[in-house]
């Protein structure tokens, strides 16, 4: 398998894939590669994931599919029913918990953020834009695309790309 070397003109040849093994609540990982100049590198790590190393955890407002969003020191979650939550990323203190949006549908797409705005897209195709921060979600804009959306919107430069069931939009 060959990957471009982002640090120069040489190519990186991957000899072994990234490996992670868990033994008694400790993760052990290794990634080996070499470049065309014959330089071999191995990156190893260990991580303790026992209860003593958990910074915080939440048990309410957790989504079924969408990944959490980290933005500007906060964690944002969207779950089915249009329930949005926001936590302090360092302490886990909720700023708001399971506040209902007007788009009370299922959510598969993960939230994304740019320019002080959080973008949330429901399966039936409703986009909600909320203001980042605050003590409750403030809806800035809503739009209905009229067809299913499963894909997470993509952000690149000053563009937002949104994939519906039959179209790709660039804003």
pLDDT in tens, 39-68: 666 666 666 666 666 788 888 888 888 999
The pLDDT score that the predictor gives to residue 24 is: 58
**Cα angle 159, 169, 152; round to 5:** 75
The pLDDT score that the predictor gives to residue 4 is: 41
Residue 14 clears pLDDT 50, i.e. is over it:
no
Point out which residues pair with 70 in neighbouring strands: 75
Q: Give the pair of three-digit tokens for residue 108.
A: 């598969």
Rounded Cα gap, residues 4 and 145, in angstroms: 38
Of 80, 77, 71, 83, nearest in space to 58 by CA: 77
Tell me the average pLDDT of the chain: 81
Indicate the SS3 state at residue 5. Answer: coil
Region 151-159 average pLDDT: 93
What is the fold of 69-170? Lipocalin (2.40.128)
Rounded Cα gap, residues 123 and 63, in angstroms: 14
The most distant pair of C-alpha atoms in the chain lies apart, rounded to whole Å, by 58
Q: What is the pTM of this model?
A: 0.72
pLDDT in tens, 110-122: 999 999 999 999 9
The pLDDT score that the predictor gives to residue 17 is: 47
- For the ranges 10-24, 54-68, 137-151, the maximum mean pLDDT occurs at 137-151
CA dihedral (64, 66, 68, 72) in degrees, to 10, reads -140
Rounded Cα gap, residues 166 and 152, in angstroms: 15
């Amino acid at each position: 398998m060959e990957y471009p070397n982002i640090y120069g003109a040489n190519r990186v040849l991957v000899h072994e894939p990234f490996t992670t093994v868990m033994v008694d609540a400790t993760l052990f990982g290794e990634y080996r590669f070499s470049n065309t100049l014959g330089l071999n590198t191995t990156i190893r790590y260990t991580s303790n994931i026992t209860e003593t190393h958990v910074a915080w955890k939440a048990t309410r407002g957790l989504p079924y599919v969408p990944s959490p969003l980290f933005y500007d020191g906060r964690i944002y979650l969207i779950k089915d029913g249009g329930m949005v939550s926001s936590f302090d990323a360092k302490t886990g203190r909720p700023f708001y918990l399971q506040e209902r949006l007007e788009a009370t549908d299922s959510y598969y797409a993960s939230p994304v953020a740019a320019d002080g705005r959080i973008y949330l897209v429901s399966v039936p195709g409703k986009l909600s834009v909320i203001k980042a921060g605050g003590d409750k979600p403030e809806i800035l804009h809503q739009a209905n695309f009229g067809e299913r959306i499963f894909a997470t919107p993509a952000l690149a430069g000053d563009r937002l790309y949104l994939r519906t069931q039959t179209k790709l939009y660039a804003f």
